[in-house]
Chain A
Amino acid sequence: DVKVTQSSRYLVKRTGEKVFLECVQDMDHENMFWYRQDPGLGLRLIYFSYDVKMKEKGDIPEGYSVSREKKERFSLILESASTNQTSMYLCASRDSTSNGYTFGSGTRLTVV
């Protein structure tokens, strides 16, 4: 089975800090995605990547950036964390053959 691993389950950061959320997949998938999940809003796409060194803005990219230096790793960066970025962050990768998406367990980020 494909495994998508998010390095932290819970994070607490201070306002203004630079925050890195890491995501690693073990199946050589080209497509990877970052979502945030908020109650009543569902999942919203922040950024995605077609392949190494490639990145595309999703629906809510403001305040975020991403890095994809290696195929297996897709990092989400909060340049200067703010309290409105307190949320659950989910990473996913996609198998282009089956069109199946696999999600990580999520990182619950609290910005204080």
Chain B
Amino acid sequence: AQSVTQPDIHITVSEGASLELRCNYSYGATPYLFWYVQSPGQGLQLLLKYFSGDTLVQGIKGFEAEFKRSQSSFNLRKPSVHWSDAAEYFCAVGSYSGGGADGLTFGKGTHLIIQP
């Protein structure tokens, strides 16, 4: 069965500093990988997704992620964080069967705190 691990429950970063959120996945085939962000009281917003091709994926709000098959990782990065980036971040892997999409399996999330 597929799984996603986000090792860091909380991360604190100073405004303007760089950010990396870690994500490791387990999936038997080529993974479809996603990063979502959830601000307090809001729904999930897609930051970026990886299906195939270039392993460095660009997303919205200045985020990027790099797929590394050898490490089963899909880490999210941003060169300079803003106070508005404070939120919960979720990594997810999509699973599929003969019937179609079986949904996304999510990690437990990383809570990002921005220090002034």
The secondary structure that dominates the A interface is strand
B31 to chain A, nearest CB (A): 12
**Contact A31 B101, CB 8 Å, known A43-B90, A99-B49:** yes
Instruction: State whether the Cβ of B35 lies closer than 8 Å to any Cβ in chain A.
Output: no
Q: Tell me whether A103 is interfacial, beta carbon within 8 Å.
A: yes
With beta carbons under 8 angstroms apart, the residue of B94, B100, B102, B106 that contacts A42 is: B106
Q: How far is the CB of A40 from chain B (nearest CB, A)?
A: 6
Q: Which of B13-21, B39-47, B62-70, B72-80 contacts A (4 or more CB under 8 A)?
A: B39-47
Q: Does B34 contact A (CB under 8 A)?
A: yes
Flag if B100 contacts A31 (CB, 8 Å).
yes
A interface residues, how many (CB within 8 angstroms): 27
- A27-52 CB contact bits vs B (8 Å, 1 = yes)? 00011010100001111110010110
Within 8 A of B (CB), among A10-37: 30-31, 33, 35
**Chain A residues in 8 Å Cβ range of B101:** 31, 48, 50, 94, 96, 99
> B-side binding surface: helix, strand, loop or mixed?
strand
Is B46 a contact partner of A101 (Cβ separation < 8 A)?
yes
Kindly state whether residue B58 has any CB partner on chain A within 8 Å.
no
Contact (Cβ within 8 A) B51 A99: yes
Interchain CB contact under 8 A, B43 and A103: yes
Collect the chain A residues with CB atoms within 8 Å of residue B90's CB.
42-43
CA–CA, A44 and B106, complex, Å = 7
Q: Is B104 an interface residue (CB 8 A)?
A: yes
Min distance, Cβ A92 to any Cβ of chain B, angstroms: 8
B99 at the interface (CB under 8 A from A): yes
CB-CB under 8 A from A56, the residues of chain B are 99, 102
A46 to chain B, nearest CB (A): 10
Q: Complex: how many Å from CA A1 to CA B44?
A: 15
Interface residues of A (CB under 8 A from B): 30-31, 33, 35, 40-45, 48, 50-51, 54, 56, 58, 90, 92, 94, 96, 99-101, 103-106
